[in-house]
Amino acid sequence: NAGVTQTPKFRVLKTGQSMTLLCAQDMNHEYMYWYRQDPGMGLRLIHYSVGEGTTAKGEVPDGYNVSRLKKQNFLLGLESAAPSQTSVYFCASSYLERSYNEQFFGPGTRLTVL
Amino acid sequence: GESVGLHLPTLSVQEGDNSIINCAYSNSASDYFIWYKQESGKGPQFIIDIRSNMDKRQGQRVTVLLNKTVKHLSLQIAATQPGDSAVYFCAEIRSNDYKLSFGAGTTVTVRA
């Protein structure tokens, strides 16, 4: 099993550009999450999904959109990138919503917005 | 401000010594706490968890202590090894929303 994978690993955008980050998991998990990690601030939840076709807002959802068209994939979109969105983005998945001891994280995507 | 935080951003430990990483939280409604380890270039990895009805839990070389009176959480690593060098995060789950809230992290460096 590959676990949780993220593409791309690195990306540099100009302000106003758009892009989509892809997260894929092969563990048949129902729940998927997108976090951002900024220096000195730990991880913050952007959006999450409790199943195929469903999404919900997390702590810092503004400027981002998500889609969960297939159970194994969770996409994070930036429609008009801003320098404040420079961060490392982590995707995670879990079988149950509260099984945090079994929440698996991907390796991260480092995004720089100029 | 943040409801979960670590006392020190960095910790340097001699190989073989015990490490103690501290975390303070402010939300008394939190009922579940987790410690994560994050190595350079990787995502966080679960280490150990503890529920609010416990004050101590032990794993392999790690012990988590919870003091609800002073809202304090600590992670103890026994016989610290070079592979323990990483950033350690504490996280809390509030009973009203079940979402993780992370602290800023402590960078542990193990000296040979």
| pLDDT single digits (tens) B38-63 | 998 888 998 999 999 999 999 999 99
> Does pLDDT of A41 surpass 90?
no
Q: From the CA of A88, how many Å to the nearest CA of chain B?
A: 10
Name the burial class of residue A18, with classes exposed (0-12), middle (13-18) and buried (19+) by CB atoms within 10 angstroms of its CB.
exposed
Q: Is A92 on the interface with B (CB under 8 A)?
A: yes
Eight-class DSSP state of B24? E
Q: Is A42 on the interface with B (CB under 8 A)?
A: yes
Inter-chain touch B104–A41, beta carbons under 8 Å: yes
pLDDT of residue B3: 47
Phi, psi of B86 (to 5 degrees): 180, 180
> Does pLDDT of B1 surpass 50?
no
What is the chain A residue with the closest CA to B107?
A40
SS3 B67: strand
Residues of B in contact with A24 (CB under 8 A): none
Average pLDDT, chain B: 88
Q: What is the mean pLDDT of residues A89-114?
A: 85
Closest by alpha carbon to A106, among B103, B104, B44, B38?
B44
Q: Is B75 on the interface with A (CB under 8 A)?
A: no
User: Residue B89: which of A42, A48, A102 has the nearest Cβ?
Assistant: A42
pLDDT of residue B31: 85
Q: Is A26 on the interface with B (CB under 8 A)?
A: no
- Asked if A23 contacts A2 with a C-beta cutoff of 8 angstroms, the reply is no
